[in-house]
Amino acid sequence: MQLAYWLCDNYLKDPLATLIVENTHLHILPSMNPDGFALRRRGNANNVDLNRDFPDQFFPNNDDIKQRQPETRAIMNWIKQEHFTASASLHGGALVANYPWDGSRDTRKQYYGCPDDKAFRYMASMYSQSHYNMSLSKEFEGGITNGALWYPIYGGMQDWNYIHGGCFELTLEISDVKWPKASELLVIWKQNKMSMLNLVASLVKILAVLYRDHSW
């Protein structure tokens, strides 16, 4: 929400805000799991972890549309409708920029890169290096990690968005504290502000180059 406020307040005043507002179609979803947020748990009102509820490329879990949670169905429809270029899902409990794949075919904990691994590493590094201290992590080199190398998950949103939506999604763990106090949120925003802005601005510049190089 602070990102939205900052962009609106600084449009035509700050060159970075103006660049983003005039060159991107930016959607902000405050919470994918409002019931879980209110209950302070990962599960939704049905106590289902939504980040394990998407169809998975390696295992046929969640293939039955009738069994999928309403929040998951809504996100899937939204992604297919809007055709996003890139996205970021914000999480708490660690401090790292995570990129696909989130799992591997044999379920082992290992580096398992996707076809656009270099692009994802660039995006993750852009976020980490612009952050207050993410790139200084002692646990994650450079403050970034491949999901399958960190801890494999199946049925996650990140991989589904990339495969089925053509959307380059990062999972951003933006606070070591899972449930920060309300009084700490502005500090977390300030620590992540330039990371968020630079990530969006970098996508504007990348797309401009691609359009220039492939224009006819």
Q: How many Cα atoms sit within 13 Å of 154 on the Cβ side?
A: 14
- Using alpha carbons, list the distances in angstroms from residue 16 to 7, 8, 89: 9, 12, 22
Omega before 160 within 30 of 0, i.e. cis = no
Catalytic residue IDs: 173
Protein fold of 1-213: Aminopeptidase (3.40.630)
pLDDT for 67: 85
Residue 192 has a CB neighbour count (10 Å cut-off) of 23
Stretch (H or E) spanning 167: none
Residue pair 144/96 in contact (Cβ under 8 Å)? The answer is: yes
Residue pair 144/99 in contact (Cβ under 8 Å)? The answer is: yes
Q: How many Cα atoms sit within 13 Å of 59 on the Cβ side?
A: 16
Structure confidence by residue, pLDDT tens digits, 163-183: 999 999 999 999 999 889 999
> pLDDT by residue for the chain (216 residues), tens digit each?
999 999 999 999 999 999 999 999 999 999 999 999 999 999 999 999 999 999 999 987 667 777 899 999 999 999 999 999 999 999 999 999 999 999 999 999 999 999 999 999 999 999 999 999 999 999 999 999 999 999 999 999 999 999 999 999 999 999 999 889 999 999 999 999 999 999 999 887 766 554 555 444
pLDDT for 182: 92
pLDDT for 216: 43
Distance CA 1, CA 50 (A): 21
